[in-house]
A = this chain, B = another copy of it.
Amino acid sequence: MSEYSAWFECINGCPSRFSLYEIIYRCPECGDLLDVRHDLDALRRRSAGAWMRLFDDRYRRNTFPYGSGVWGKKEWVIPFLANENVVSTYEGATNLLWAERYGKMVGVEDLWVKQCGNSHTGSFKDLGMTVLVSVVKQMIAEGESIAAIACASTGDTSAALANYCGAAGIPAVVLLPRNKVSPAQLVQPLANGALVLSLDTDFDGCMALIQEITKERTVYLANSMNSLRIEGQKTVGIELVQQFDWEVPDWIVIPGGNLGNVSALGKGLLMMRDLGLIRRLPRIAVAQAANANPLYQSFLKGFDTFAPMQAQKTLASAIQIGNPVSYKRAIRVLQEFDGVVEQATEAELADETALADRTGMFNCPHTGVALAALRKLVERKIIRSHERVVVISTAHGLKFAEQKIAYHLGRLDGIESKHANAPVEIAADLKVVMDSIKRFADKVRLLEA
């Protein structure tokens, strides 16, 4: 047995505790979300320095499962899970890229991009899903009769679920509204062998059905209401501080839709502070698409109220969410971290993605939202040019190849494509080609100067 313990507890402080191996998603008293809580006193028996040394010793090493960015912090995640039930594809420990050229353009030279999408399934969702699927594997090993893990999702969540279930040999089920989703959006769950159910209903109908289904206990719920995923996702904040040799940056900018990601980021950083690994907290900026900005609206009112909205279509499809599950957690984090919320229009996010790509990145549109927000915050001197800033990049740009092509060919509706770069058709003639290269090289040199 582990000397450390953790359990589910209501986010509103209702008194009951529940085992992490219990099939429970909401507080039976108030109906709100559950949080995983850790016995911090037990964790405090190891000193901050000893934790840092332990995490550094494990980082990217070969002893299973501790080389994983998530499971290298296992005592802080699910301390008592049997190692043989950990389903890991060595997630996390993603690159913290120094965005040298882009930073100069924005006016923040100490700018870093945490590339969570440089991964197996191409998004940060791996970090949470490894935890959820591992816990289910443990439950099955202990005799719980779980037939499948299910979610209603068109994007990174279903991709990550199917992938980890594929690795574990556990059936995964994805529920989708028929005719609302293209096969291209489904390529990962299909390839990873999930049962993809295409239903004659809309997205709300799928969500209602999944609530019904998962009441039956034999189908375990993987949607973001399940708080186990936050335990894995919270390692991103710990890891990026570790990558700075345990120095806290001044700002972390993170795109926000369902708001589980910023909640997890805050949770990991608070745990570090509470256990003495860091003394101060960074400030956090959540970046929303202007077309799906309920948190931004709430921020403008000092978080006094929070009103769900009907999200409009945005290129940043994964954050096109008007009624975020984790808004309470997110607001608490922002209040604790002296946080701000900024928004980006469709043109702003598309142009900023393209500009950053030109400096050697390959960003998803959500990262573009974060970068556009960063630019505004720098212009308004909320983020100062000497500060160290980390932008959380949530997915690989390869997931958005069609959108990028449309941008560069000037085919995105209502968007000017300020930084478009289309192929140039010329004759296959040495002089013509050399002239073209020379003009291009002069232009690049001019931009650099």
Contact = CB atoms under 8 A, between A and B. Distances in A.
B360 A428 contact: no
Contacts of A399: 398
A193 B357 contact: yes
Contact of A438 (B147, B186, B405, B441): B147
Interface in A415-435: 421-428, 430, 433-434
Given A120-B115, A398-B396, A197 B93 contact: no
Contacts of A433: 175, 197, 199, 209, 213
Contacts of A424: 195-198
B60 A437 contact: no
Contacts of A194: 421
Closest CB pairs A-B (n = 5): A167-B360, A201-B428, A166-B360, A193-B358, A147-B441
A440 to B, nearest CB: 4
A282 interface: no
Interface stretch (A11-19, A176-184, A261-269, A330-338): A176-184
8 contacts: A60-B93, A89-B360, A120-B362, A166-B357, A171-B444, A190-B405, A192-B357, A199-B425
Contacts of A38: none
A141 interface: no
A163 interface: yes
Contacts of A421: 190-191, 193-194, 196
B198 A401 contact: no
Given A198-B426, A398-B399, 11 more contacts: A62-B244, A62-B245, A90-B95, A95-B120, A101-B169, A120-B362, A166-B357, A186-B423, A191-B354, A192-B357, A201-B428
Nearest to A357: B191
A422 B62 contact: no
Contacts of A197: 423-424, 426, 433, 436
A448 B193 CA distance: 13
Contacts of A171: 437, 440-441, 444-445
Nearest to A100: B167
Contacts of A357: 166, 191-193
Contacts of A176: 423
B192 A426 contact: no
Contacts of A358: 166, 191-193
A183 B403 CA distance: 11
Contacts of A195: 424, 436-437, 440
Contacts of A89: 95, 97, 360
Interface in A346-363: 354, 357-362
A243 interface: yes
Contact of A437 (B213, B244, B354): B213
Interface string A140-174: 00000001101000000000000111111111010
A173 B427 contact: no
A398 B360 contact: no
A206 interface: yes
